[in-house]
């Protein structure tokens, strides 16, 4: 399994319980180091610094991929590029799962020029910054995936505040891609 944006490795630990092998990736070297240390006793887990929009240094093909709390941080203009990059690292018919947050109340939000929702965050020392925090609808997700995914399953759990998505990568011609 290829894990995108593994963060501190909470879900990597869960995945490693059943996956034959996991490559946990993140763009942040500190997160990758944390996961390496956290799971140093697991022979089925490797960690690698990787940009989710490029994945250039990721070798091999994977039969599954996973990302938790990642989709909402993808700029709308980068979703197709991200999916094309991810799918290029997967075998045909690979299984993919995303889990992310449903919209929740927050007064510190605004929309940028590209239509992305930006949410204000605060550091422990009081500085503020904006992050992208989009909340795609089921229809938006299905629209993006319509030409590249089979067996799309989408669920919402309002009481826990998340949505889940799973699908299989379509067997595409070499020239097919997300538009």
Token pair belonging to 176: 């097919």
| Structural domain boundaries enclosing 23 | 2-103+134-169
Rg of the chain over Cα atoms, rounded to whole angstroms, equals 17
- Give 8: exposed, middle or buried? Use CB within 10 Å, 0-12, 13-18, 19+: middle
Q: Is residue 128 part of a domain?
A: no
Of 89, 77, 96, 76, residue with least CA distance to 50: 89
Q: Is residue 117 part of a domain?
A: no
Q: Is residue 116 part of a domain?
A: no
Q: Is residue 124 part of a domain?
A: no
Question: How would you write the pLDDT of the chain (179 residues) with one tens digit per residue?
Answer: 999 999 999 999 999 999 999 999 999 999 999 999 999 999 999 999 999 999 999 999 999 999 999 999 999 999 999 999 999 999 999 999 999 999 999 888 999 999 999 999 999 999 999 999 999 999 999 999 999 999 999 999 999 999 999 999 997 544 345 54
Q: Is residue 108 part of a domain?
A: no
Q: Which residue has the tokens 């007064």?
A: 107
Look at the chain and report how many structural domains it folds into.
1
What DSSP character marks residue 36? H
What pLDDT score was predicted for residue 107? 87
Q: Is residue 49 part of a domain?
A: yes
pTM: 0.91
Q: Is residue 174 part of a domain?
A: no
Q: Is residue 123 part of a domain?
A: no
Q: What is the CATH number of the domain that holds 35?
A: 3.40.50.150
């Amino acid at each position: 399994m290829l894990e995108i944006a593994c963060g501190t490795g909470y879900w990597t630990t869960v995945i490693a319980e059943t996956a034959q092998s996991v490559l946990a990736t993140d763009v942040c070297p500190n997160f990758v180091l944390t996961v390496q240390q956290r799971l140093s006793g697991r022979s089925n887990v490797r960690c690698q610094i990787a940009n989710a929009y490029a994945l250039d240094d990721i070798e091999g093909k994977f039969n599954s991929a996973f990302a938790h709390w990642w989709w909402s941080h993808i700029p709308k203009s980068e979703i197709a590029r991200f999916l094309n990059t991810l799918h290029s690292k997967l075998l045909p018919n690979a299984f993919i799962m995303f889990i992310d947050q449903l919209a929740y109340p927050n007064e510190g939000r605004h929309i940028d020029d590209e239509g992305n929702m930006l949410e204000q965050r605060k550091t422990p020392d009081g500085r503020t910054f904006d992050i992208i925090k989009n909340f795609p609808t089921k229809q938006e997700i299905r629209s993006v995936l319509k030409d590249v995914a089979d067996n799309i399953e989408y669920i919402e759990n309002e009481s826990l505040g998340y949505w889940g998505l799973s699908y299989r990568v379509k067997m595409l011609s070499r020239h097919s891609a997300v538009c």
